[in-house]
Structure 1
Amino acid sequence: MISKMDEVIERAVIAHRLDTITQEMSYALERSSRSPIFAEACDFACGICDGNGDLVSQINGIPILAAAGTFSVKEVIRKYRNQIAEGDVFIINDPYRGGNHLPDIGIITPLVVDKEPLFYCVSRAHHGDIGGSVAGSYNSKATEIFQEGLRIPPIKLISQGNLIQEVMDLITQNVRNPQMLQNDLWSQIGANKIGTARLDELIHNYSAAKLKETTKHLLGHAEKLTRQAIANMPDGDYFGEEWVDDDGFQANPIKIKVKVIIRGEEMTLDFQGTDAQVKGFVNSALVTSTTAAWIGALWALGPDIPRNSGAFRVIQVNLPEGSLLNPHDPAPVTLSTLTPASEIISAIFQALSAPAKERLPAGFGRYCGPSFYGVDPRNQEFYVGFAFCALGSGGGIWGRDGYPYMAPLSNFGGVRSPNIEANELQYPHLTLCHEMEIDSAGAGKWRGGPGIRYSLQFYGEPTNIVMFGDGMKIPPFALASGKPGSLNYVELLTPDEEKIPLASKESPRTLTKGAVLTMVSSGGGGWGDPWQREPESVWQDVLNGVISRTKARTDYGVVIDEGGVDWAGTKKLRAIS
């Protein structure tokens, strides 16, 4: 007879094993992939769902991708119920059928035992091109999803171990780098195969019944912890607003409004009052919006809650149909995993900043940069690249300054900055600078992380760029009397020395050889009164080039001379306020 303590230990061992399986899947995906967006930026997530499609384990990859896996699996189950066999593999990317946006392709592999799907391994990853009218598939001027790329509903790619070549051909013939996409799909399939093999080992070590009972317990435990965390917050209605700069067609900011309703152990996130869907590609379909809402709520509730479907059960999300956050098919949605997903989270942060007290940070920078594409003159091959080295920074939080290179919120540092030298080998450009931008961090008792200045000189001819992003009008918000972060800024310098400021959303632009593109990303917002920041910390920021002496004086009330802090001058200046 197994004791209560042994049962607790056994469940903990199984839970840890599920997590390590998802980690092993991610390592396999990273190391076997071909494209830089997989192998270096690691723009992917892996997870495990149970036989009902409920997420039971995910790695700390890209949050906006990982939590969405449950939607994709449930779409597969809905379509193929009683038709799922051992050796099947499914593929999906349609945002209106369980996907995020078209470049994020999900591969789903069931583990079938005695004709019953017990688990589903999921890998969801961002591919460099999924077709559409613009290379890289970020079409800032798309007005419908059909202009953004190939839509893949939940469909079998492999049936009982046999590749359905017609499906693979249909997909690869509609993208610009077919061999790279196919290789990366095989990496996802391989990662899932490792996952199902490890799960099969786990079943043989314990039994299918034990695994089913344990995963049910894990979901129930997460639900219990979530309910407890909500109950610890005061009942009430809490309001937050955030804004998207524009949609690339009209210049007016677009409102995201949330009312967070807390009653006992229940939480509802109601987005009534959010603006209607727009013409451009900043709309966000139901999966992405719901996932972002869960991320924001669970962040406020604390880090000890497992990020699985048990926790999601307690958090109800209301997304009005026809709004920016639940548009009607076929509205374009490609930017949604960056903007407005991050702004959904930001709105929740601002709503819950009081009841969550010191758990929430100030605003993060928003992504704003180009995709670039053309024919590499060194090998005459077509390429598509992205400016992952232009990431913005995180906001300050109680007790700690914001981290640089953490933005946007929907990724929370999951996307890695590629190696500069590797980037120069892969694409026909040179990196002229890659450094922190002085005076970009939002001031606070705990300041935001500084933004980044990143300059590229292109020598391919011609090179084409497409601008996509946000945050040129709306800065990262501050909390607790801090100051907002800086805005994004992008400038093109032509070979004849003409400087051209670029908008955050632009149609393809052709560059001549020698053109220089400079991106200055946002610094995060500040948390707390900047005049309460320790003068020595301000001095260190001046020494490190994070802030100037002028900023130290005006924003922090700290007087800096050649030797360091002028204590008498600082005391006098701070006494004035």
Structure 2
Amino acid sequence: MSDVDPITLEILRNQLEGVAEEMGQVLIRGAYSPNIKERQDCSTALFDAEGRTVAQAEHIPVHLGAMPEAVEAVMAKDPEPGEVWALNDPFEGGTHLPDVTLVSPLAPVGDEGIVGYAVSRAHHADVGGSTPGSMPAGAREIYEEGVRLPGVRLVRDGDIVEDVMNLFLANVRTPGERRADIRAQLAAHDRAEERLGDLFEEHGNTVRDAFDAVIDYSRSRMESELAEIPDGTYEAHDVLEGDGVTDDDVPIEVSVTVDGATLDVDFTGTADQVAGNLNAPLAVAKSAVYFVVRCLTDSEIPPNQGCYDPVSVTTPEGSLLNPASPAAVVGGNVETSQRVTDVVFAALAQAVPERAPAHGQGTMNNLIIGSREGDFAYYETIGGGAGATSDVDGMDGVQVGMTNTLNTPAEVLEAEYPLRVERYAFRPGTGGDGEHRGGLGLERSLTVERDATVSLLTERRRTQPKGVSGGADGATGENLVDGEAVPAKTTVDVDAGSTVTVRTPGGGGHGSPESRDPDARERDRRDGKTESR
């Protein structure tokens, strides 16, 4: 344990988290694409010289929990100050190809070498591949999903390596937007170096000591929290609704063992890697587990490597959650990660039912619409019902689980893209009944005003989000093109004037419906939440 005094530690902890947050603000304000500047589909964090997370902004869980593997991959290439490395390869530290990660070594104290790393990860609306938006529903190998960056120097001696930038831009459909968003990420890294330099100027090498101290503090707090969970092994099972190639259910099995202050999460029994694109890199599986652990423990524990040290994750090689190249993976990051959170929540609900929520909508409802000519590329995840907890109703129409993005405002969507919003509303009656009711799903209906390609990667279209402790299940979702139902995972070409509708699932209820407060039932009726499905 470091000897940094508690007051100094608390000051520096907040200042380090402030650096990560300011990185994110610079990235969001400087971005060009609505997916980043409006939806805020990006994440930023600081790491120490050993590659351990020290501080992170409150951004996207699936981004943040998987970042350490990206830093590890760059560290293996002996990066130097003045460089920024770019990667998106899921088999070398990435998550899926649209998430482009930048890693820059920081050396704000001159000759003393690298003291840490700034990291940003942003979802780029198109990175090439076989379809606009780079998320083809039927992909069978990663080559169909876009350009791969296996860790390359994007900046050397402070200057962009134009050959690398040009190679990347030559393989995407919206190069102007991509260049602007990459520059916004680089600006965020410049701000991190500046602000970390300010901290070293103010506090000297106490900053290095604080890196160790804040990680030690979080580890100690997390171990105390885990020690309060009853020892034992808890199991759960769920499925994905096909992999985009077949409609066969894809099982996910988990066994969670609590032993004192440690947690072991074992996915042995989960399906082998699949032909479609729902394979999830190990980093994504770990990220989902870490998210659940954070949700079930004290939210005031500083989020850093110390939180995850007491947690181990086991996934067999060649499985759905630890696939081998060249497996397609673009859906694993967004959909399989959601199901992993569901099964781990379900397992731990057996140990701490008062802490675990019912299942939320269990999907990100990925909607991608773009032009093959490269005129535009629209990407969005659509909110739905959150699961109820033991003390409150689930929220209506929100992002749940591994995503934490906003929506694209209708005004922005119509101004930026050849799309028209026909309907955007809650779906009455979709939340599961219970002592506490699950949240409502949404309906979002868009008319495409020019010929385009539409891709949908969704889940919970035939399996309902589960209620717990006697609560009812939430409603399933539905996808339609021109009023006709289409599969949960599909890529189709549509003519100008076609209308795409996404109806998202509701959340599960918590507790017996007979126990619901009569006043709450009257509010449900008055607010139209209990209309028939």
* Shorter-chain TM-score range: over 0.9
Aligned pair partner of 1:78 in 76, 79, 90: 76
Secondary structure of the structure 2 residue equivalent to 1:340: helix
Distance 1:367 1:502 in 2: 17
The answer to whether the 8 Å contact 1:361/1:397 transfers is: yes
The answer to whether the 8 Å contact 1:369/1:519 transfers is: no
Distance 2:422 2:137 in 1: 27
AA paired with 2:155? I
Deviation string 1:247-287 (CA, Å, 9 cap, x unpaired) is: 02222211111111111111100111111110000000111
Aligned pair partner of 1:111 in 103, 106, 112: 106
Aligned pair partner of 2:449 in 423, 439, 459: 459
Aligned pair partner of 2:463 in 474, 497, 520: 474
Q: Does 1:292 align with 2:288?
A: yes
AA paired with 1:196? E
The two structures have a TM-score, normalised by structure 1, of 0.89
AA paired with 2:286? T
Aligned pair partner of 1:501 in 464, 480, 485: 485
AA paired with 1:210? T
* Deviation of 1:140 (Å): 1.1
Distance 2:149 2:28 in 1: 23
The answer to whether the 8 Å contact 1:109/1:193 transfers is: no
Deviation string 1:342-380 (CA, Å, 9 cap, x unpaired) is: 1111111000013223222111111224311128xxxx9
Q: Are residues 490 and 138 of structure 1, via their aligned partners in 2, closer, same or farther at CA, if it must alter by over 3 Å? A: same
Deviation string 1:215-247 (CA, Å, 9 cap, x unpaired) is: 101111111111111111111101111211110
The answer to whether the 8 Å contact 2:35/2:380 transfers is: no
Deviation string 1:201-224 (CA, Å, 9 cap, x unpaired) is: 0001011x2111111011111111
Partner of 2:402: 410
Distance 1:122 1:480 in 2: 41
Q: 1:369-448 residue pairs with structure 2 within 5 A?
A: 369-374=366-371, 382-388=375-381, 390-411=382-403, 414-448=404-438
Distance 1:115 1:214 in 2: 17
Distance 2:5 2:413 in 1: 50
Deviation string 1:126-159 (CA, Å, 9 cap, x unpaired) is: 0001111111000111111111111111121111
Aligned pair partner of 1:19 in 17, 20, 24: 17
The answer to whether the 8 Å contact 2:418/2:448 transfers is: yes
Secondary structure of the structure 1 residue equivalent to 2:375: strand
**Which one scores higher on RCO, CA 8 angstroms, separation ≥ 6?**
2
Aligned pair partner of 2:328 in 329, 332, 336: 332
The answer to whether the 8 Å contact 2:386/2:439 transfers is: yes
Distance 2:364 2:21 in 1: 27
The answer to whether the 8 Å contact 1:396/1:526 transfers is: yes
Distance 1:284 1:408 in 2: 18
Distance 1:249 1:88 in 2: 41
The answer to whether the 8 Å contact 1:268/1:315 transfers is: yes
Partner of 1:254: 250
Q: Tell me which structure has the larger Cα radius of gyration.
A: 1
* Deviation of 1:381 (Å): 6.9
The answer to whether the 8 Å contact 1:86/1:115 transfers is: no
The two structures have a TM-score, normalised by structure 2, of 0.96
Q: 1:103-502 residue pairs with structure 2 within 5 A?
A: 103-112=98-107, 113=109, 114-207=111-204, 209-365=205-361, 366-374=363-371, 382-388=375-381, 390-411=382-403, 414-460=404-450, 462-493=451-482, 499-502=483-486
Distance 1:246 1:85 in 2: 44
Secondary structure of the structure 2 residue equivalent to 1:241: strand
* Deviation of 1:301 (Å): 2.8
Flag structure 2 segments of 5+ consecutive residues without an equivalent: none
Secondary structure of the structure 1 residue equivalent to 2:63: helix
* Deviation of 1:467 (Å): 1.7
Q: Does 1:527 align with 2:510?
A: yes
The answer to whether the 8 Å contact 2:45/2:56 transfers is: yes
Secondary structure of the structure 1 residue equivalent to 2:95: coil
AA paired with 1:501? A
The answer to whether the 8 Å contact 1:449/1:524 transfers is: yes
AA paired with 2:191? I
Flag structure 1 segments of 5+ consecutive residues without an equivalent: 494-498, 552-577
Deviation string 1:2-25 (CA, Å, 9 cap, x unpaired) is: xx9x92111100000011111111
- Number of positions where the alignment pairs a residue of Structure 1 with one of Structure 2: 528
AA paired with 1:69? M
Distance 1:357 1:271 in 2: 21
Distance 1:235 1:47 in 2: 33
Distance 2:117 2:100 in 1: 16
Distance 2:260 2:253 in 1: 23
The answer to whether the 8 Å contact 1:443/1:483 transfers is: yes
